[in-house]
Amino acid sequence: MKNILTAPFVVEMMKTTANMYRLGWDERNGGNISYMLDPAEVGEYLDTEKVIREIPIGFDAPSLVGKIFIVTGTGKYFKNVEDDPERNLGIIRIAEDGRTAELLWGYSDGGRFTSELPAHLMSHIARLSVDPENRVVMHSHPTHTLAMNYVHELDEKKLTHTLWEMCTECIVVFPDGVGVLPWMLCGTNSIGEATAEKMKEFRLVVWGMHGIYGAGRNMDEAFGLIETVEKAAEIYMLTAHLPRINTIKDEEMVELAEFFGVKYRKDFLNL
């Protein structure tokens, strides 16, 4: 067996969590990531027949039976993942009953996966129904995105349109727009179900006055989506109190989207 600490998926989680903490997106134990892995690749590093313990996941996920995920731990700080990945991360497999996670590695202090795992797994199910290549769900608290929640209408069309106006790249990076949920109690199946419903339509979902969810085919895509929204939100927060002299016009957004060949939400434009 190869050393699990050298596995690309472990190294990627270590680097990504460190970067997100450095950016101020994941203070204390805020934020979580789940990453669906290739069982054959995992088998190069772990004996997948050896289950350390079983942990209930809190809902029924039959479509994910046998799927393997590396997931950040509950109560764990992103800043500590690089120093002690085995304590702060875990690799789980969804058991045959669809309601239990089999721990294959990690959570070495007796811990467990993030309390948001139901929301993550529900989002994986939703995204896989749209894009079978989806592998990553990422939740964080980007500062300017969160600040924008307090001064901008939490309306999907209006929020998306404002973000698209902030950077030329925005309509190209997230042409499907941004879904929005009102404030809801976190760590519950209810917010997980609401997020998953939005994930059928969007790869990005804002949790009002809380943070954002991003989904993608790989870590770069999920991270890049959130990163682009955060940059646009920062520009908005830096300029919202000032007279606007220039803006990206809707006709120019159409020109951008069509030049780069992306399928964009025409109903989110004011044409």
Helix (H, G, I), strand (E, B) or coil at 51: coil
Domain span at residue 187? Answer: 116-271
Report yes or no: 263 and 175 within 8 Å, Cβ to Cβ: yes
Question: Where does a domain end: 61, 84, 114?
Answer: 114
Chain centroid to CA 118: how far? Answer: 13
- Residue 183 and residue 2: Cα distance in Å, rounded? 44
Query: What mean pLDDT comes out for the span 38-53?
Result: 96
Q: What is the pLDDT of residue 80?
A: 97
Query: What mean pLDDT comes out for the span 225-238?
Result: 98
pTM for the model stands at 0.95
Report yes or no: 73 and 107 within 8 Å, Cβ to Cβ: yes
- Provide the domain count of the chain: 2
Q: Within this chain, do residues 249 and 157 fall inside the same structural domain, yes or no?
A: yes
Grade residue 35 by pLDDT with cuts at 50, 70 and 90. very high
Q: Domain of 12: which CATH number? A: 3.40.225.10
Q: Within this chain, do residues 49 and 122 fall inside the same structural domain, yes or no?
A: no
User: What's the whole-number average pLDDT of the chain?
Assistant: 97
How big is the chain by its Cα radius of gyration, in Å?
A: 19
Active site residue 234: no
- Catalytically annotated residue among 27, 49, 54, 116: 116
Looking at residue 131, its amino acid is: D
Question: Where does a domain end: 78, 99, 114?
Answer: 114
Q: Within this chain, do residues 144 and 166 fall inside the same structural domain, yes or no?
A: yes
Grade residue 235 by pLDDT with cuts at 50, 70 and 90. very high
Grade residue 240 by pLDDT with cuts at 50, 70 and 90. very high
pLDDT in tens, 184-221: 999 899 999 999 999 999 999 999 999 999 999 999 99
Strands (E), 58-168: 68-72, 89-94, 100-106, 136-140
* CA nearest to 203, candidates 126, 255, 151: 126
The percentage of the chain sitting over the pLDDT mark of 70, rounded to a whole number, equals 100
Q: Within this chain, do residues 63 and 133 fall inside the same structural domain, yes or no?
A: no
Question: Where does a domain end: 114, 149, 167?
Answer: 114
Q: Within this chain, do residues 77 and 144 fall inside the same structural domain, yes or no?
A: no
pLDDT at 132 over 90: yes
Looking at residue 24, its amino acid is: G
Q: Within this chain, do residues 47 and 17 fall inside the same structural domain, yes or no?
A: yes
- Count the residues in the chain: 271
Return the DSSP state at 249: -
- Residue 210 and residue 107: Cα distance in Å, rounded? 26
Looking at residue 118, its amino acid is: P
